[in-house]
Amino acid sequence: MFEILLKNITRRIQLTSEETALFTSLLSVKKLKRRQFLVQEGEFNKYSAFVTSGCLRSYTVDKNGFEHVLQFAPQDWWITDMASFLHNLPGTLFIDAIFESEVVLIQRSGIEKLYQTIPQFERYFRILAENALVTYQRRLMDNLSLTARERYDHFCTRYPSLIETLPQKQVAAYIGVTPEFLSKMLNTGTGRKGQTETS
Amino acid sequence: MFEILLKNITRRIQLTSEETALFTSLLSVKKLKRRQFLVQEGEFNKYSAFVTSGCLRSYTVDKNGFEHVLQFAPQDWWITDMASFLHNLPGTLFIDAIFESEVVLIQRSGIEKLYQTIPQFERYFRILAENALVTYQRRLMDNLSLTARERYDHFCTRYPSLIETLPQKQVAAYIGVTPEFLSKMLNTGTGRKGQTETS
DNA sequence: TTTTTTTCTTAATCTGCATTATTGGACCAA
DNA sequence: TTGGTCCAATAATGCAGATTAAGAAAAAAA
């Protein structure tokens, strides 16, 4: 049932079978259709979600109605509105499924129980947070110092499988350009188009 | 000697006096003059630094020679090149002192020793990483969705004391505009200038 | 299949911010 | 005092990417 998640966890920490049982007792499963929301802006984000199939995204909508993607979460990734989840605040993000997806959910209270009974989980989530932190730092610096094309190329390098499955529009909302400009960029300039002709 | 740091830590976890003694035995102190580097790009960043006075910054220099600030670290903040520190890679950041400063240093090996002997430190650094993560997420979304003026106003709101002590140039390199444009922006438009005339 | 919705493309026009350059002031060391 | 270094202010010119507006193509839904 929870193999993918357990495999992800045991890459960082070891659990006994009792610990595994306690852990899985805190989980639930949810299926999401394309476009279905996990949470919306303003709601309290009570769950952290681990994606077992499909792909989710978190994003904001600015005052002009444009979407800006904070994170894509394909299989084997966690996604949540961290600020809301950690500090019990109204959320600022929308999280929805880009394709039909399945996620494993855990509540804040479940995680706190884990910290108390299986301290190893402090380590697991510390490592996840540190890695995510480094990723966001790099992305921020990329946004400050690179051109749109360079940011696109970095995205292709770092997420080669996403570039093939996601609508271009979503990639544009992640790297911080309009869909129109991304399209033009790919069909004009001296382009590495990242095409994968099944030659 | 290490009061500021210990006070910071005991806001999140409790330590016995033996634990405190072990912890402080892993620390060292370093004074930095204005402009003095803690580490430079390409070096292995062996230390994490906690600022006890003054102010440090981490930044990159792009291919055109422009600086982009990742973080300011005034008193009571940690600063390091996380990617290098965590994964033993050559660093990508410069870290230097903006003013004369004093920092407390701890090595990667020291932190690992802490994790083994005082598991509470897993929690302390998990909490730090989570908070930093949320901060970078918000800043990234600000960069994607706000104008330069809005980013400046946010900076003033979030770091009111920094805005008064830092050279304008450093703020520009943080919010992602040129010093020239920031200057023009503050001396033209319908400006909230955040001035603090000691009225 | 047909219909509907979503996504991609193209192109003309516009603009926020960069670039480049120059000036003057504040601070500091010799 | 002089000279050096850093920083802020101003302004003219340029460009990467936004905006607006269609229409075409592809994918979902019916």
pLDDT in tens, A133-178: 999 999 999 999 999 999 999 999 999 999 999 999 999 999 999 9
A173 in helix, strand or coil? helix
Q: Which residue type occupies A17?
A: S
- How confident is the model at residue A1, as a pLDDT? 77
- Confidence grade of residue A192 (pLDDT, cut at 50, 70, 90): very low
- Above 80 in pLDDT, residue B80? yes
- What residue spans define the domains of chain B? 3-120
Q: What percent of chain A has pLDDT over 90?
A: 92
- Above 50 in pLDDT, residue B193? no
- How confident is the model at residue A102, as a pLDDT? 96
The per-type count for chain A, helices as H runs and strands as E runs, is 9, 8
Distance CA B123, CA A55 (A): 30
Whether the Cβ atoms of residue B90 and residue B102 lie closer than 8 Å to each other = no
Element (H, E) at A31: strand A27-32
Q: B119: which 2 tokens?
A: 């598991």
B89 touches chain A (CB under 8 A): no
Model confidence pLDDT, tens digit, residues A29-71? 999 999 999 999 999 999 999 999 999 999 999 989 999 999 9
Q: Is the CB of A64 under 7 A from strand D?
A: yes
B121 in helix, strand or coil? helix
CATH: 1.10.1740.10, 2.60.120.10, 3.40.1130.10, 3.40.50.720. Which one for A3-119? 2.60.120.10
Averaged pLDDT, B128-143: 98
- Above 60 in pLDDT, residue B195? no
- CB-based burial label for A187 (10 Å; 0-12, 13-18, 19+): exposed
- How confident is the model at residue B151, as a pLDDT? 96
Contact A62 B145 (CB under 8 A): yes
B49 in helix, strand or coil? strand
- Above 90 in pLDDT, residue A196? no
CA distances from A121 to A86, A113, B79, B149 (A): 15, 10, 25, 42
Calculate Rg over the CA atoms of chain B. 18
B60 touches chain A (CB under 8 A): yes
Dihedral, CA atoms, A125, A127, A128, A129, nearest 10 degrees? 80
Residue A181's nearest nucleotide, by CA–C1', is D17
Whether the Cβ atoms of residue B178 and residue B67 lie closer than 8 Å to each other = no
Report residues 150-179 of B contacting strand C, contact meaning Cβ closer than 7 Å.
Answer: 176-178
Q: B105: which 2 tokens?
A: 């240093």
- Confidence grade of residue B33 (pLDDT, cut at 50, 70, 90): very high
- How confident is the model at residue B1, as a pLDDT? 77
- How confident is the model at residue A197, as a pLDDT? 29
Contact B68 A134 (CB under 8 A): no
Average pLDDT of every residue of chain A: 93
- Confidence grade of residue B49 (pLDDT, cut at 50, 70, 90): very high
Of A145-159, B95-109, B151-165, B185-199, the one with minimum mean pLDDT is B185-199
* Nearest CA-CA partner of B96 in B65, B60, B133, B131: B60
CB atoms within 10 A of CB A138: 18
Q: Is the CB of B181 under 7 A from strand C?
A: yes
Averaged pLDDT, B10-21: 97
Model confidence pLDDT, tens digit, residues A80-139? 999 999 999 999 999 999 999 999 999 999 999 999 999 999 999 999 999 999 999 999
- How confident is the model at residue A195, as a pLDDT? 34
CATH number of B3-120: 2.60.120.10
Phi, psi of A47 (to 5 degrees): -115, 150
A60 touches chain B (CB under 8 A): yes
Report residues 161-180 of A contacting strand C, contact meaning Cβ closer than 7 Å.
Answer: 167-169, 179-180
Averaged pLDDT, B18-34: 96
Distance CA B199, CA B29 (A): 39
Distance CA A126, CA B126 (A): 4
Residues ≥6 apart with Cβ < 8 Å to B68: A141, A144, A145, B59, B60, B61, B62, B173, B176
DSSP for residue A140: H
Residue A170's nearest nucleotide, by CA–C1', is C7
Averaged pLDDT, B139-156: 96
CB atoms within 10 A of CB B103: 25
Q: A112: which 2 tokens?
A: 């706190």
